[in-house]
Amino acid sequence: MSSRQLATTSGDYDNAYPPEVRKYLRTYGLTPPNTETFELQAQRCLKQLDRKSTDLEKYQYLTHLRATNVHLFYRLLSENVKDITPLIYTPTVGEACQRWSDIYTQPEGMYLSYSDKGHIAGILANWPHNVEITVVTDGSRILGLGDLGVNGMGIPVGKLALYTACAGIRPDATLPLTIDLGTSNMELRNDPLYLGSNMDKVAPEDEIEFLDELMAALTERWPGIVIQYEDWKNPFTSLERYQKTYTMFNDDVQGTGAVIVGGFINAVKASGVAAKDHKAVFLGAGSAGVGVAKQLVQYFIKEGLTEEEAKKKFYLVDSKGLVTLDRGDKLADHKTYFARDDNSGKQIKDLADVIDYVKPTILMGLSTIGGAFTPEILQTMAKNNDKPVVFPLSNPSSKSECNFEEAITHTDGKCLFASGSPFPEMEYKGQQMYPGQGNNMYVFPGIGLGAILCKAVNVTQDMIYASGEYLSYSLNEDEKSKGFLYPDISRIREVSVVVTRGVIRTAQKNGVDRELAIRALSDEQLDDYIRARMYDPFKELDHIKEEIKDLGIKSNGSNGTVESLKSAVAGAHL
């Protein structure tokens, strides 16, 4: 990750830069005269944010800031992670995607269409930067909001902003990518402002042909690129097809599974119930539900259970009720593994009835059904357990199966809680209660950075699991004393270092790493190695000053130019 690889970026127009730097960048006179500290810049930005009356307006302001001064955007984000993340990610990004056709101002990534088939490599050549990681969606299942077609672009943009903020991947090394394979959303297609094609979703076999070409073209243009699939309605085919051939993973299936393993390890410790005695009901048996359940099977196996015993701990419920082998409908392949065969012909439709039947210690929500964990259901969980594990994980907040206040109130403060979207902490009966955020944002940045730094050939299942396991190690003493299941989000960069180390170490064990020189590093040395390679928006000015020093360039009075002692080398800037 070299610095300032290519042409001028919006970050070069930073009024934190002193005159000699502006002259070197040839932006002298193109920005207001004063050289400002970050504190002053942040004051202005926060004032402007404060004046916006809706979160969507704040999202739009932050989009504008990123486009016009990328380093300031990331300085502001890294200093205010807790407050700003919900404005650029879930929940606000959900509304932004729903309104994308109306609020669109500029491209922030690449759009490829089905009609581009046969020409993908040529089109990728138009992207002006060297890419290390891409997040690709077809927009067909955006959060819990359904098929939003190319309006889903907000998701790759938001995820990659977190890659930069949380794991320090340089902004210009990230590529948000949206594929227009058609959409089933007629409301969008009938909207003249819709930015995608007015056609039905292509057939699965056509999708795969397109993706075969895309994967090859991405890897040919940027060898070693990490490819993250995100928010695909049918993610399993591509995951199975590409995971052993490319450096790719599916965030919804695998990242979500790993992040829940991380919180779950801590929840099991806090629950006072041995791992072998837990039982889980999942509302939602889609990509995320099955992904989480599969990773948790791996956890139970590590705790000494057989695979069969581990699998039997899960009761999945979909829109038709408890998933059983003899339910009478044709189960999708991904559900069959968990389908119950011990129901003695009994079919249970209602979640409350499933809970009465199973008496679970754990209740997970990945169903997109806001409010599905009713007060009665939460009360039953509290009646049956000293410390029920309640994870309403659907996004955005409106789709959360319950909110934090409901969970705390209806379990009388007993539940161990994590949600997909953030909720505020609260006081209950004189005690401060803290919600966890079980969102894959705790692991995908470390999975991606780990894969990049060790030059992984593949992202193995073990690397994914390790990201969750190392996440669970990253709680500090203060967080443990407050009963946190996940670390404080404002420490996310440090957490990402630990997660990245876990991913690299596991890649090394699996023999899929190609950066062999870092195998010999101690854990401490590896952490330093990782930190040193993370983009830090506060250090950009220092890097440019070093470039200037190295090139021996001197400022030439106030005429807006610089003189170079090595003008041949510095010619590009003169």
Ligand X SMILES: NC(=O)C1=CN([C@@H]2O[C@H](COP(=O)(O)OP(=O)(O)OC[C@H]3O[C@@H](n4cnc5c(N)ncnc54)[C@H](O)[C@@H]3O)[C@@H](O)[C@H]2O)C=CC1
**Where are any strands of DSSP class E within 424-500?**
426-428, 431-433, 436-437
E strands, 268-361, are 280-283, 314-318, 321-322
Task: Residue 321: name the closest of 337, 306, 343 by CA.
Answer: 343
Helix (H) / strand (E) containing 249: strand 248-250
Choices 8-16, 51-59, 210-218, 362-370 (CB under 6 A): range interacting with ligand X: 362-370
- Comparing CB distances to ligand X, the nearer of 366 and 503 is 366
Span near Mg ion by CB under 5 A; candidates 3-11, 210-218, 229-237, 423-431: 229-237
In 3-state terms, what secondary structure has residue 415? coil
Measured distance CA(332)–CA(284) in Å, rounded: 13
List, as one string, the DSSP characters of 43-70. Answer: HHHHHHHHH-SSHHHHHHHHHHHHHH-H
Q: Of the two residues 124 and 261, which places its CB atom closer to ligand X in the complex?
A: 261
Angle at 210 between CA 208 and CA 213, to 5 degrees: 110
Q: Is the dihedral of CA 516, 521, 523, 527 positive or negative?
A: negative
Q: Angle of helix 70-79 relative to helix 38-51, nearest 10 degrees?
A: 80
Q: How far is the CB of 424 from ligand CC(=O)C(=O)O (least distance, A)?
A: 19
Number of C-beta neighbours around residue 331 at 10 A: 17
Q: Spot the catalytic one: 23, 58, 159, 294.
A: 159
**By the rule CB under 6 A, 231 interacts with ligand CC(=O)C(=O)O:** yes
**Which residue's beta carbon is nearest to the bound ligand CC(=O)C(=O)O?**
395
Instruction: Quote the tokens at residue 219.
Output: 């890897």
For ligand X, the binding residue among 97, 161, 366, 382 (CB under 6 A) is 366
- The reply to whether 529 belongs to the active site is no
Q: Single out the residue of 14, 231, 318, 406 in contact with Mg ion (rule: CB under 5 A).
A: 231
Q: Determine whether the annotation assigns residue 342 to a binding site.
A: no
420 lines the binding site for ligand CC(=O)C(=O)O (CB under 6 A): yes
Q: Residue 138, interface with Mg ion (CB under 5 A)?
A: no
DSSP 180: E
Cβ distance to ligand X smaller for residue 283 or 389: 283
Residue 290 CB, shortest distance to ligand X, in Å, is: 8
Any idea which residue has 């073209």 for tokens?
A: 217
- Respond yes or no: is residue 482 known to be catalytic: no
Find out whether 252 is annotated in a ligand binding site: yes
For 200, which DSSP code? P
Q: Choose among ligand CC(=O)C(=O)O, Mg ion, ligand X, none what residue 284 binds, the Cβ cut-off being 5 to 8 Å by kind.
A: ligand X
In the region spanning residues 75 to 114, those forming contacts with ligand CC(=O)C(=O)O, defined by CB under 6 A, are 90
- 345-367 CB burial, b ≥16 within 10 A, e <16: eeebeebeebbeebebbbbbbbb
Which among 8-16, 87-95, 230-238, 530-538 is the span making contact with Mg ion, rule CB under 5 A? 230-238
Inter-CA distances, 99 with 87, 93, 507, 564, Å: 15, 10, 40, 49
Catalytic residue among 17, 24, 89, 442: 89
Give all strands (DSSP E) within 472-567, no chain letters. Answer: 553-556, 561-564
CB 175 within 8 A of CB 128: no
Largest CA distance in the chain: 88
Residue 366 interaction partner, one of ligand CC(=O)C(=O)O, Mg ion, ligand X, none, beta carbon < 5-8 Å per kind: ligand X
Task: State how far the Cα of 459 lies from the Cα of 176, in Å rounded to an integer.
Answer: 20
436 φ/ψ angles, rounded to the nearest 5 degrees: -95, 155
**Would you say 439 is a known binding-site residue?**
yes
Per CB under 6 A, the list member of 185, 367, 385, 403 interacting with ligand X is 367
Q: Which residues between 248 and 287 bind Mg ion (CB under 5 A)?
A: 252
Q: Pick between residue 182 and residue 289 the one whose CB is nearest to ligand CC(=O)C(=O)O.
A: 289
Q: Is 190 annotated as a binding residue?
A: no
Residues 103, 162, 214, 285: which binds ligand X (CB under 6 A)? Answer: 285
Shortest distance, position 144 Cβ to ligand X, whole Å: 3
Residue 527 in contact with residue 534, Cβ under 8 Å?
Answer: no
Instruction: Work out the burial of residue 23: count CB atoms within 10 Å of its CB; fewer than 13 is exposed, 13-18 middle, 19 or more buried.
Output: buried
Distance between CA atoms of residues 445 and 159, nearest Å: 9
Q: Report the residue from 12, 252, 318, 513 that binds ligand CC(=O)C(=O)O according to the rule CB under 6 A.
A: 252
Of 180-188, 270-278, 360-368, 543-551, which segment contacts ligand X by CB under 6 A? Answer: 360-368
Q: Does 395 contact ligand CC(=O)C(=O)O by CB under 6 A? A: yes
Query: How many residues make contact with ligand X (CB under 6 A)?
Result: 28
230 annotated to bind ligand: yes
Of positions 69, 137, 247, 439, contacts ligand CC(=O)C(=O)O by CB under 6 A? 439
Phi first, then psi: give them for residue 501, nearest 5 degrees: -60, -45
Binding-site residue set: 141, 230-231, 252, 395, 439
Catalytic residue set: 89, 159
Residues that bind ligand CC(=O)C(=O)O (CB under 6 A): 90, 143, 231, 251-252, 395, 420, 439-440
Please enumerate, by residue number, every residue annotated as part of a binding site for (S)-malate. 141, 395, 439
Interacting residues toward ligand X by CB under 6 A? 141, 143-144, 252, 256, 259, 283-289, 317-319, 366-369, 393-395, 399, 420, 438-440
Residues at the annotated binding site for a divalent metal cation?
A: 230-231, 252
